Structure 1
Amino acid sequence: MRFALLRHDAAITSALARQVARRGRDLPTVLVALPVLALFARSWLGELPAERREVILVIAAFLIAAALARALVGRLEYHRTEGALAHFAQRSTDAVGYVLPPLLVGLAVLLASVRGLGGLMGTSTVIGIVAGVIVGLIAAALRLRLAWLATGLVPRGKHVMEGSHLLPLAAASSGLVGLVCALLPSETYLAAMVAGGYALMVALLAGQVDAAVVRYMAMVGRSAADLLRRWLPLQLALLVPAAAVLALSQSGVAAGIAALAAFGLPAFTILRVLAYRAFDRMPADWLVTIIVAITAYLMLSLPPLGPLAILAAMVWLARRGRGARWLIA
């Protein structure tokens, strides 16, 4: 087993860390914002009842483990298709040597973080993390298969995000999904599961934002509005009709899941696009993660402040990214 892919990405990570360390505005953000956020989360969790605290930490561990596994598989797919070391990425032993060590290290850090935030190393935490890894791997494989299928269905020369002729079909399909969920028995959680599965599929197919594409389009003179028109219309067409149908049918949990997806995915996409215009990919991802965490806390403690925090972050990122065309200025 060779570790060429792992050494390659470790060198990239080291270079990015040195780059962040040299920047006067980025290093304080990492050294101050993250510890303050951790202390803030620990203080808030400490005030909750023990059972609720454990539930929140298990859910958070599940989501983080799923995101980590999905990100590693996605990075491996990049190495197989576009990376400079594609020869190594095609080998199954090298692929395992690339995915397994970072996954184990990440899970160890996650367990330590859960313990540091006041959680217990119980069976529920371990099950949540293992389930998150499994779901992340399945989601990554499903995204690749669905992306391949969508590429085959789109006419040659047309990008799935740019095919405006697909929007009416997407909206009709979304409304049909909402109608099916509304007709399912209300005494079970089947409607909520279908709505959640549909939202996940939309996020996998239409929720990907390529930082390199955003930076290139910004540098050649495309405005933030032009960038958002590339990603948002399809997301809204796939999510809003289903949420509207379920809201009108008063379907309870399913309507809440659909509404959360219809608001959350476009908002998350806007934050990522604006952040990628203003910062490099890794600092932008960290910044968006911090913004989402703060917003989630505000939604739980002071709900009216959550949307205001999102809007304030969008305005700040939009202003910060106005100078993104410096390469051709």
Structure 2
Amino acid sequence: MNRLFRQDRLIASNTIRATFAGWHDRAMAALMLLAALAAVRAWFVDRPWTVAAWTAFAAGAMIGMGAGRLVGTRLAFHAFDGLLAADALHRQIRRHYVAAWHGVGLGVLAVVTLIARPSLLVVSVPAYLTGVLVAALTDGLKFPTHIVGTTRPGWTLRAWSHRPITGVVAATVLLLSLLPARTLGTNALMAFVGIETVLLALILTSVDDAIVRFMTIAGHGSRHIIVRYIRGLASFLAVAASGCWVMLGPSAAGIVAAVCIAMLLIVTLRILAYRLHAKRFADLLVSILAGLLMLVAYSMPVVLPVIALAMFWQLQRRGRAKTWLLT
């Protein structure tokens, strides 16, 4: 078995055991997982197949992009700081490592799809692979490092994703792509707007946990860090929502606004979690909290603002104690 994969599998297993050490923690996690799967199945079963298929495609693409970024980040760590750097620099071993983890991701997605609605398997699997491809392309894009004789290292798409101009460019791409799509039916057009908004907004939501922790111990508050990371997404929201309102009406603008607001909440959750915990545990915590918010939004939308405010306030209160604190 690939040694890189075996090491990461062991790390993940130990992290889960440490996170859910007590039987009550495991029971609570199992109940939340079952409740989430039940909610997902109830939602997909009650929807027309076309709507469910578009939703499954969007979800699969998002999961694929997230998995692609995570695997790429782990490979970079292994290559530069890991104990198995020689393996991580070997092309064939890298390919086996990537294939193994994406095999796990596809397996989990397939199981969830079979539980939710088996007929959507033909949509979710290609969507996952599309998301992996998008993640590979966006992580590989780099701006020129030598411009007019001046070396400027680190000009990557990730570094530029937080700048307002990047959000404006992404919004322009969305609006231009809607010109030929206006011939679609209303439902298909709204689904197209939602899916493309999700894919473009994901490019603007990257958060570097090391930078967040450094800014925290350097005395920067959570508000300053959050504003730094949401500038691109905020400009995307302003331009895309306004343009969609003019071109397609308030429904399309509402979809864009809802997606961007959800992304803003996820970015805020990640920043607050990174101020408190290491990346792996913070990502797990954000996944659990985001799943809880989705479950509350589906079952009890009236209490969603209260739950969300309490969640953010608790993370902010704990994170404030980490400011200026070397850990």
TM-score normalised by L of structure 1: 0.75
In the alignment, what sits opposite 1:31? Answer: 26
Task: Call closer, same or farther: CA 1:152–1:247 in 2, change over 3 Å.
Answer: farther
Map 1:52-67 to 2 at 5 A. Answer: 52=47, 55=52, 58=56, 62=60, 66=64, 67=66
CA contact (8 A) 2:218 2:323 kept: yes
Q: Tell me, in whole angstroms, the C-alpha distance in 2 between the residues paired with 1:199 and 1:45.
A: 19
Once the two structures are superposed, what CA deviation does each residue of 1:65-95 show, in whole Å capped at 9, x if it has no partner?
5233443244224434554534322322201
Ranges in structure 2 where 5+ consecutive residues have no aligned partner: none
Matching residue of 2:4: 5
Q: How does 1:126-205 map to 2 (within 5 A)?
A: 127-146=122-141, 148-149=142-143, 156=152, 167=164, 169-170=165-166, 173=169, 176-177=172-173, 180=176, 184=180, 186-188=182-184, 193=192, 196-197=195-196, 199-204=198-203
| Amino acid paired to 1:94 | I
1:312 aligns with 310
The residue aligned with 1:219 is 217
3-state secondary structure, aligned to 1:149: coil
* Residues 144-193 of structure 1: CA deviation (Å, up to 9, x unaligned): 133x1387789837978898x953x4565466456546755633256864
8 Å CA contact 1:272, 1:285 repeated in 2:
yes
* 1:182–1:251 contact (8 Å) kept in structure 2: no
CA distance in 1, matches of 2:167, 2:32: 39
- The Cα shift of 1:139 comes to 1.8
Query: Residues 109 and 170 of structure 1: is their aligned pair in 2 closer, same or farther, counting only changes over 3 Å?
Result: closer
Matched residue, 2:286: 288
Determine the C-alpha separation between the residues in 1 that align with 2:48 and 2:33: 15
Counterpart-to-counterpart distance in 1, 2:297 and 2:267? 19
Change (3 A) 1:208 1:47: closer
Q: Which residue of 1 aligns with 2:233?
A: 235
Q: In the superposition, relative to structure 1, how do residues 239 and 64 fare at CA in structure 2: closer, same or farther (>3 Å)?
A: closer
Aligned to 1:208: 206
CA displacement 1:243-298 (0-9 Å, x = unmatched): 12222444466434421332122211001101111233223222222222232233
- Other-structure match for 2:322: 324
AA of the residue aligned to 2:220: R
Paired residues for 1:62-73 under 5 Å: 62=60, 66=64, 67-73=66-72
Are the aligned partners of 2:272 and 2:316 in contact in 1 as well (CA < 8 Å)?
yes
Q: 8 Å contact 1:70–1:139 — kept in the other structure? A: no
Give distance in 1, aligned partners of 2:134 and 2:233.
Answer: 18
Q: Deviations over 1:10-42 (max 9, x none)?
A: 3433553454366xxxx5685143212123235
Counterpart for residue 95 of structure 2: 96
Q: Which residue of 2 aligns with 1:108?
A: 107
The match for 1:263 among 261, 264, 272 is 261
Distance 1:245 1:91 in 2: 47
8 A contact 2:297–2:304 mirrored in 1 = yes
Residues matched between the structures, number: 317
Q: 1:184, 1:191 within 8 Å by CA — same for their partners in 2?
A: no
Aligned equivalents of 1:258, 1:296: Cα separation in 2: 18
Question: Distance in 1 between the 2:233 and 2:308 partners?
Answer: 18
Counterpart in the other structure of 2:19: 20
- For 1:28 and 1:201, locate their aligned partners in 2 and report how far apart those are by CA, in whole Å: 41
| Partner in structure 2 of residue 276 of structure 1 | 274
TM-score (norm 2): 0.76
Unpaired runs of at least 5, structure 1: none
Output the CA distance in 2 between the equivalents of 1:49 and 1:114. Answer: 10
Q: Name the CA distance, whole Å, in 1 between partners of 2:145 and 2:19.
A: 37
Query: Which moved further from structure 2: 186-195 or 219-228?
Result: 186-195
Checking the alignment, whether the CA contact within 8 Å between 2:61 and 2:130 is kept in structure 1 is no
Query: How has the CA–CA distance of structure 1 residues 284 and 159 changed in structure 2, closer, same or farther, with 3 Å as cutoff?
Result: same
| Distance apart, 1:194 and its partner CA | 6.7
- Answer whether contact 1:61 1:110 (CA < 8 A) is retained: no
Shift of 1:217: 2.0
Identity level (%): 26
